[in-house]
């Protein structure tokens, strides 16, 4: 069984500790800082075996070298971006598999937010660790890649089973929801989701994980085909890719 512990850190980051209860092996996804990770490892009496990085931004790799020095763990990251992943030991790309004891994670290339972004998908545990490619009700900014690259990346994630839980790297759901409602105001599932999110945040509880099914129903960046969204942004006859590009531009300007 895979035990998943979210560790809130910095302003809105989530670091995820993964523990395979059968083998006793432990990994951490995108450690921004080391202290929170070290504290939980000590509390649980776990040894850190791996770091899984999704991309090179400092709020995802900032603790790589300190954790490696303190624990001797191996660092896993994208072969395409190995020069920017501090301390990388294991270089992977699209279709490769990394194992954590009895848990297997498929690596999926998802360029867009960065050109070397990857995500980790466990079919057995129905879990997707998607870094900054996919957010609840949103997607990552295009810092390095193109809109076409990001749209193609999101299409890879849309076809995962609907029950797949998505573990994003940031608590952005409430802000994303305000934008989603501006382009998809007649979506009752979106309105229900936003109400749930508001209640969770009032209680200082995380809005994650979401699911692929929930995002297909409510995330405008998964819904470029939707006629209501297309009409609302004046792009009824455009391609899905063009609609996605416009949605991303509108989100970048949204206040």
Residues making up the binding site for Zn(2+): 55, 57, 59-60, 113, 132, 170
Q: Which of 60, 109, 117, 184 is catalytic?
A: 60
CA distance 70 to 64: 10
Q: Which of 19, 56, 57, 117 is catalytic?
A: 57
Residue 30 a catalytic site member: no
CA distance 160 to 190: 20
Binding-site positions read: 55, 57, 59-60, 113, 132, 170
Q: Which of 9, 30, 49, 59 is catalytic?
A: 59
In order of 63, 173, 174, 215, 219, the CA distances from 209 in angstroms are: 23, 11, 14, 11, 14
Q: Which of 19, 56, 117, 170 is catalytic?
A: 170
CA distance 194 to 174: 7
- For the chain, how big is the Rg over CA atoms in Å? 18
Residue 55 a catalytic site member: yes
Q: Which of 109, 113, 117, 184 is catalytic?
A: 113
Half-sphere exposure of 187 (CA within 13 A, CB side): 29
DSSP tally for the chain: helices H, then strands E = 9, 14
Half-sphere exposure of 132 (CA within 13 A, CB side): 24
Residue 237 a catalytic site member: no
Residue 57 a catalytic site member: yes
Residue 132 a catalytic site member: yes
Q: Mind telling me the catalytic residues?
A: 55, 57, 59-60, 113, 132, 170
């Amino acid at each position: 069984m895979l035990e998943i512990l979210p560790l809130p850190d910095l302003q809105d980051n989530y670091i995820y500790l993964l523990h395979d209860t059968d083998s006793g092996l432990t990994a951490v996804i995108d450690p921004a800082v080391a202290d929170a990770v070290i504290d939980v490892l000590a509390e649980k009496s776990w040894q850190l075996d791996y770091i899984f990085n999704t991309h090179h931004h400092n709020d995802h790799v900032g603790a790589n070298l300190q954790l490696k020095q303190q624990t001797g763990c191996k660092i896993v990251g994208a072969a395409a971006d190995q020069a920017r992943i501090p301390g990388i030991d294991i270089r992977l790309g699209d279709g490769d598999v990394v194992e954590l004891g009895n848990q297997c994670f498929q690596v999926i290339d998802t360029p867009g937010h960065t050109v070397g972004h990857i995500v980790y998908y466990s079919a057995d545990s129905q879990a997707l660790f998607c870094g900054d490619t996919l957010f609840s009700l949103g997607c990552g900014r295009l810092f390095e890649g193109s809109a076409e690259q990001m749209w193609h990346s999101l299409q890879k994630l849309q076809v995962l089973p609907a029950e797949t839980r998505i573990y994003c790297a940031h608590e952005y759901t409430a802000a994303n929801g305000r934008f989603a409602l501006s382009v998809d105001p007649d979506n009752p599932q979106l309105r229900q989701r936003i109400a749930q999110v508001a209640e969770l945040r009032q209680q200082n509880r995380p809005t994650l994980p979401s699911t692929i099914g929930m995002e297909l129903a409510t995330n405008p960046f998964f819904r470029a085909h939707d006629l209501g969204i297309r009409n609302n942004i004046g792009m009824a006859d455009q391609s899905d890719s063009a609609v996605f590009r416009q949605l991303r531009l509108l989100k970048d300007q949204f206040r």
